[in-house]
Chain A
Amino acid sequence: PHIRTFGDDFHTCAVQGAWPLIDNDYLYVQVTGAPASQGTHHTVVTKITIIFKSWRQCTDQQLYQAELDDVPAAFADGSQWSGERRGRRVLTVRTDSPGRHAEIRAAYIGTLLVVRQSGRSLGLSVRSPRGVLEAFHPDHDLQLCVWGCPASYRVDALRPPPLPHAAGAAEAHCAALLPTRDVYYHACVFDLTASGDLNSSGAAVGALQDARSMTGSGQGVHLLPAAAAGPAG
């Protein structure tokens, strides 16, 4: 999968198995990657696990799990919210598209998480205060959202794999969907070329939508790769 880190680095990461994205005093987020298809080392996220750790009088521990074709709008125990203070629920789950989208708001840590299924992969976007993200022990040094993808697992997203889909057609399709030749555009071309599945472009489009709503302004949404910048199309 592609990773935009809290520090606005962008990596394409061929990791398999379970990897932590966030591991701090409040939150543990883990993604599980599996090969996109037989015979390829490209991987997709097939499972997302989120543990909200018990925090003082605000909330008890809660577990959220999403898998491919099963993105529930509820925690693992079936509840849709936890903790209530002054008439406000401090941890809630809701959905705009049952089975394919979930939005989790953790007001007690000012954190928003959005889980989406696009095509045959899952995606996750997180917005969290710096003070929350920095509350971890130095031992917790494997957090893809904090440190990015380990160098040995990185793939060059500016060089999409050849076949099965023609690169020109992928570029045209992604340019029609994404306004800027930014990392989301390159991720879209990469995914389309690797998978040959037009639906896979939805992942980059959804991630850009989340970046727009989570970063709150035009500036800083479009990360530009060093080798390419400017309008798409």
Chain B
Amino acid sequence: CRILRCNSEFVAATVHLSGGGGAALSSDSAYCGALRSYSLCTKRTARPCRGDLAYHSAVQGIEDLLIQHRCPRAGPTARPWPRPQGAVLGDACLYERSFVSREGRAPEYRHCSVFGD
């Protein structure tokens, strides 16, 4: 079930829109596009998420928001999450490799431990 990824993508697509407040958002086509993308994302993960409470909450929430913001059901969707391309971007999920290629040196590590009686 990939509902957390859908949630993250929706948050990422709308985080820069939230400064305008709820009233401004209702007429914002970008917000409606993000909601439609969110809805598509939930549909793609519907089968593995069928017993997942977070999934059903998201589906219900999207429906409410589409109505609340008077978003057309059909229309453009938000730009998809940028996928890594090429060697350097492909290392985005490998912290050390990506840090070295960006900064030209290894990251500075710190250590913490908790132990004992």
**A127 to B83 Cα, complex, angstroms:** 28
Give 1 or 0 for each of A8-29: 1 = CB within 8 Å of chain B CB.
0000100000000110000000
Q: Is B65 an interface residue (CB 8 A)?
A: no
Q: Is B5 an interface residue (CB 8 A)?
A: yes
Q: Known: A56-B92, A129-B95. Is A200-B117 also a contact (CB below 8 A)?
A: yes
Q: Which A residues lie within 8 Å of B4 (CB)?
A: 54, 60-61
Flag if B107 contacts A121 (CB, 8 Å).
no
Return the chain B residue nearest A59 by Cβ: B93
| Most-contacted residue by chain A among B81, B116, B117 (CB, 10 A) | B116
| Most-contacted residue by chain A among B91, B93, B115, B117 (CB, 10 A) | B117
Q: Is A95 an interface residue (CB 8 A)?
A: no
Flag if A121 contacts B8 (CB, 8 Å).
no
Question: How many A-B pairs with Cβ below 8 Å?
Answer: 155
Q: Which A residues lie within 8 Å of B110 (CB)?
A: 6-7, 127-130, 133
Flag if B111 contacts A110 (CB, 8 Å).
no
**A132 to B112 Cα, complex, angstroms:** 13
Flag if A207 contacts B99 (CB, 8 Å).
no
Give 1 or 0 for each of B71-103: 1 = CB within 8 Å of chain A CB.
000000000010110000011111110010000
**A112 to B97 Cα, complex, angstroms:** 15
Q: Which A residues lie within 8 Å of B94 (CB)?
A: 85-86, 88, 90, 107-108
**A100 to B113 Cα, complex, angstroms:** 17
Flag if A129 contacts B93 (CB, 8 Å).
no
Q: Interface majority SS on A: helix, strand, loop or mixed?
A: mixed
Q: Is A99 an interface residue (CB 8 A)?
A: no
Q: Which B residues lie within 8 Å of A129 (CB)?
A: 95-96, 99, 107-110
Q: Is A181 an interface residue (CB 8 A)?
A: no
What's the least CB distance linking A31 to chain B, in Å?
6
**A204 to B2 Cα, complex, angstroms:** 41
Q: Is A123 an interface residue (CB 8 A)?
A: yes
| Most-contacted residue by chain A among B5, B12, B114 (CB, 10 A) | B114
What's the least CB distance linking A116 to chain B, in Å?
8
The 8 Å CB contact of A21, one of B95, B99, B112, is B112
Flag if A126 contacts B113 (CB, 8 Å).
yes
Return the chain B residue nearest A8 by Cβ: B111
Q: Known: A54-B4, A60-B2, A207-B115. Is A127-B109 also a contact (CB below 8 A)?
A: yes
Flag if A124 contacts B115 (CB, 8 Å).
yes
Q: Known: A56-B81, A61-B4, A129-B95. Is A211-B111 also a contact (CB below 8 A)?
A: yes
Listed in ascending order, the chain B residues whose CB lies under 8 Å from chain A are 2, 4-5, 7-8, 12, 81, 83-84, 90-96, 99, 107-117
7 contacts between A and B (CB under 8 A): A4-B111, A42-B117, A59-B93, A86-B90, A107-B93, A130-B109, A195-B117
Q: A110-B107, A132-B95, A211-B113 are in contact. List 5 more A-B contacts (CB 8 A).
A: A1-B117, A44-B117, A57-B84, A107-B93, A107-B96
Listed in ascending order, the chain A residues whose CB lies under 8 Å from chain B are 1-7, 12, 21-22, 31, 36, 42, 44-45, 54, 56-61, 83, 85-86, 88, 90, 107-111, 116, 118-121, 123-133, 144-145, 187-188, 190-191, 194-195, 197, 200, 203-204, 206-207, 210-211, 214-216
